[in-house]
A = this chain, B = another copy of it.
Amino acid sequence: MIDPQASPPSLTALTTYLLSRTGKTARSRLAARFAERRLRLWHHAVLAALSDFGPHAQRELAVRLAVDPSDMAKILDELAEDGRVDRVRDSADRRRVTVTLTDAGRALLAELDAEAAAVQEAVLEPLTAQERAQLNALLSKVFTHLTGEA
Protein backbone atom coordinates (compact mmCIF):
# COMPACT_ATOMS: atom_id res chain seq x y z
CA MET A 1 0.00 0.00 0.00
CA ILE A 2 1.29 3.39 -0.96
CA ASP A 3 1.17 6.21 1.51
CA PRO A 4 -1.02 8.88 -0.02
CA GLN A 5 0.52 11.49 2.26
CA ALA A 6 4.01 11.13 0.87
CA SER A 7 4.37 14.06 -1.47
CA PRO A 8 7.38 14.23 -3.76
CA PRO A 9 10.38 15.61 -1.81
CA SER A 10 11.34 17.87 -4.68
CA LEU A 11 7.99 19.60 -4.19
CA THR A 12 7.98 19.75 -0.41
CA ALA A 13 11.43 21.31 -0.63
CA LEU A 14 9.80 24.33 -2.27
CA THR A 15 8.67 26.88 0.29
CA THR A 16 6.01 28.15 -2.08
CA TYR A 17 4.65 24.63 -2.39
CA LEU A 18 4.30 24.37 1.38
CA LEU A 19 2.82 27.84 1.41
CA SER A 20 0.26 26.88 -1.19
CA ARG A 21 -0.70 23.59 0.40
CA THR A 22 -0.98 24.78 3.98
CA GLY A 23 -2.79 27.93 2.90
CA LYS A 24 -5.23 25.89 0.90
CA THR A 25 -6.11 23.54 3.74
CA ALA A 26 -6.44 26.43 6.17
CA ARG A 27 -8.79 28.23 3.81
CA SER A 28 -10.86 25.18 3.00
CA ARG A 29 -11.22 24.23 6.65
CA LEU A 30 -12.55 27.64 7.52
CA ALA A 31 -14.76 27.67 4.45
CA ALA A 32 -16.25 24.36 5.56
CA ARG A 33 -17.11 25.78 8.97
CA PHE A 34 -18.65 28.85 7.42
CA ALA A 35 -20.64 26.74 5.01
CA GLU A 36 -22.49 25.19 7.95
CA ARG A 37 -23.87 28.67 8.57
CA ARG A 38 -24.53 29.13 4.86
CA LEU A 39 -21.75 31.70 4.75
CA ARG A 40 -18.62 32.10 2.68
CA LEU A 41 -15.26 33.65 3.43
CA TRP A 42 -16.28 36.89 1.74
CA HIS A 43 -18.99 37.42 4.33
CA HIS A 44 -16.33 37.37 7.01
CA ALA A 45 -14.08 39.73 5.06
CA VAL A 46 -16.90 42.21 4.54
CA LEU A 47 -17.90 42.19 8.19
CA ALA A 48 -14.25 42.61 9.20
CA ALA A 49 -13.79 45.53 6.83
CA LEU A 50 -16.89 47.25 8.17
CA SER A 51 -15.72 46.69 11.72
CA ASP A 52 -12.18 47.88 11.07
CA PHE A 53 -12.91 50.86 8.86
CA GLY A 54 -16.47 51.83 9.71
CA PRO A 55 -19.35 52.38 7.31
CA HIS A 56 -18.61 52.24 3.60
CA ALA A 57 -20.31 53.03 0.37
CA GLN A 58 -20.82 49.74 -1.41
CA ARG A 59 -18.45 50.56 -4.19
CA GLU A 60 -15.73 51.49 -1.71
CA LEU A 61 -16.15 48.13 -0.05
CA ALA A 62 -15.84 46.39 -3.38
CA VAL A 63 -12.69 48.31 -4.31
CA ARG A 64 -11.09 47.76 -0.94
CA LEU A 65 -11.66 44.02 -0.96
CA ALA A 66 -10.96 43.74 -4.68
CA VAL A 67 -14.33 42.19 -5.37
CA ASP A 68 -16.51 42.86 -8.38
CA PRO A 69 -19.17 45.44 -7.43
CA SER A 70 -21.81 43.10 -8.76
CA ASP A 71 -20.64 40.31 -6.47
CA MET A 72 -20.46 42.69 -3.54
CA ALA A 73 -24.13 43.49 -4.03
CA LYS A 74 -24.98 39.80 -3.74
CA ILE A 75 -22.87 39.31 -0.63
CA LEU A 76 -24.54 42.29 1.02
CA ASP A 77 -27.94 40.95 0.00
CA GLU A 78 -27.30 37.87 2.07
CA LEU A 79 -25.89 39.77 5.03
CA ALA A 80 -28.75 42.26 4.99
CA GLU A 81 -31.31 39.49 4.79
CA ASP A 82 -30.15 38.25 8.17
CA GLY A 83 -29.92 41.77 9.54
CA ARG A 84 -26.13 41.72 9.83
CA VAL A 85 -25.73 44.99 7.95
CA ASP A 86 -27.88 48.03 7.27
CA ARG A 87 -28.07 49.49 3.81
CA VAL A 88 -29.31 53.08 3.67
CA ARG A 89 -29.42 55.44 0.71
CA ASP A 90 -27.06 58.36 1.09
CA SER A 91 -29.25 61.46 1.31
CA ALA A 92 -26.52 63.64 -0.16
CA ASP A 93 -25.89 61.36 -3.15
CA ARG A 94 -28.90 59.17 -3.63
CA ARG A 95 -27.02 56.81 -5.93
CA ARG A 96 -24.83 55.65 -3.09
CA VAL A 97 -25.78 53.14 -0.46
CA THR A 98 -24.00 53.35 2.85
CA VAL A 99 -23.41 50.01 4.51
CA THR A 100 -23.24 49.84 8.28
CA LEU A 101 -22.57 46.97 10.66
CA THR A 102 -25.48 46.16 12.94
CA ASP A 103 -25.24 44.72 16.43
CA ALA A 104 -26.25 41.38 15.01
CA GLY A 105 -23.47 41.78 12.47
CA ARG A 106 -20.97 42.50 15.20
CA ALA A 107 -22.15 39.41 17.04
CA LEU A 108 -21.77 37.28 13.92
CA LEU A 109 -18.33 38.72 13.27
CA ALA A 110 -17.25 37.72 16.77
CA GLU A 111 -18.41 34.18 16.12
CA LEU A 112 -16.66 33.99 12.77
CA ASP A 113 -13.50 35.38 14.30
CA ALA A 114 -13.70 32.63 16.89
CA GLU A 115 -14.05 30.03 14.15
CA ALA A 116 -11.05 31.46 12.37
CA ALA A 117 -9.06 31.41 15.58
CA ALA A 118 -10.03 27.79 16.18
CA VAL A 119 -8.91 26.76 12.70
CA GLN A 120 -5.68 28.67 13.15
CA GLU A 121 -5.09 26.95 16.46
CA ALA A 122 -5.52 23.56 14.82
CA VAL A 123 -3.30 24.41 11.89
CA LEU A 124 -0.47 25.96 13.89
CA GLU A 125 -0.75 23.42 16.68
CA PRO A 126 2.80 22.04 16.39
CA LEU A 127 4.35 25.50 16.71
CA THR A 128 5.37 27.19 19.95
CA ALA A 129 4.19 30.72 20.71
CA GLN A 130 7.58 32.03 19.64
CA GLU A 131 7.49 30.13 16.38
CA ARG A 132 3.99 31.38 15.64
CA ALA A 133 5.16 34.93 16.14
CA GLN A 134 8.10 34.27 13.82
CA LEU A 135 5.87 32.76 11.18
CA ASN A 136 3.46 35.65 11.35
CA ALA A 137 6.27 38.17 11.03
CA LEU A 138 7.78 36.41 8.03
CA LEU A 139 4.45 36.03 6.28
CA SER A 140 3.60 39.67 6.97
CA LYS A 141 6.77 40.71 5.19
CA VAL A 142 5.93 38.54 2.21
CA PHE A 143 2.31 39.66 2.17
CA THR A 144 3.02 43.38 2.22
CA HIS A 145 5.62 42.83 -0.45
CA LEU A 146 3.18 40.99 -2.68
CA THR A 147 0.29 43.38 -2.22
CA GLY A 148 2.53 46.40 -2.54
CA GLU A 149 4.15 45.56 -5.83
CA ALA A 150 1.00 45.18 -7.86
Q: Which residues of chain A have a CB within 8 Å of any CB of chain B?
A: 2-12, 14-27, 30, 44-45, 48-49, 51-53, 60, 63-66, 113, 116-117, 119-120, 123-127, 131-132, 134-136, 138-143, 145-148, 150
Chain B nearest CB, measured from A148 CB (Å): 7
Copies of this chain present: 2
Cα(A25)–Cα(B66), bound, Å: 14
B120:A15 contact, CB within 8 angstroms: yes
Contact of A22 among B17, B127, B131, B143 (CB under 8 A): B143
B22 touches A21 (CB 8 A): no
Cβ of A24 to closest chain B Cβ, rounded Å: 6
Q: CB distance B139 to A18 under 8 Å? A: yes
In the complex, which residues of chain B have a beta carbon less than 8 angstroms from the beta carbon of A19? 19, 22-23, 26, 123, 139
